[in-house]
Structure 1
């Protein structure tokens, strides 16, 4: 793994690129052997303020799937803690912005989705072993939007 300072510097640069280009650069669709990148907007669990983060994802039907990792460091990422408190969020992909609701994959679904990630990231189990607790597999499901009654 690269040094932590390099990873942090890369992610700051990536977020700056996405923000300044309004997502025209820095977001990509997943491919058969590669994950994609999306921008997730959550609400802070304490402040209620919007919080933005770039995360990798794969598609599973209409759902988007990601891993609740903090650079494989100990501790849960803030975005996952925010989603546990307030599961409704918004994602921006290369295909646009859409509302989602987050949940933790469980049981057979988790095993299936973990295996799918392991096909893309061959070191997944080794990285996960560095964490003191299990890594949540997070499913972002499309959320129906309601329109005002007319």
Structure 2
């Protein structure tokens, strides 16, 4: 009786946390929390401990508990499928915030050049003729005093 009360309280608290998380518009996390919260309730309703000691009976509460465990598994699976689909599209969530990760800065490698050096901004390359390539090289050499 005490174990059933504790498991029911844990499930109720977990569903409350899931509701708060869903209110904050973090639906995948809320679904995952709800799935975890339903596991203790399902185990209580199936009578998992009593079931180990006794044979499985045709008690409707036991089968409802199995249904709740199945619902929990379905929620887990659907969250994983949505996460995989988002990862396939290139939508990356940044850690626990659920927000899209910021793209890398274009000058991210600038510190590796040294403290006193700065790289020139890259110009779009025009491959119209061979003379343009040499004029770019000459401009670079003149810039460095060579």
TM surpasses 0.5: no
**Quick check: which one's helix share is greater?**
2
How does the TM-score come out when normalised to structure 1? 0.26
**Quick check: which one's strand share is greater?**
1
- Larger RCO: 1 or 2 (CA < 8 Å, sep 6+): 1
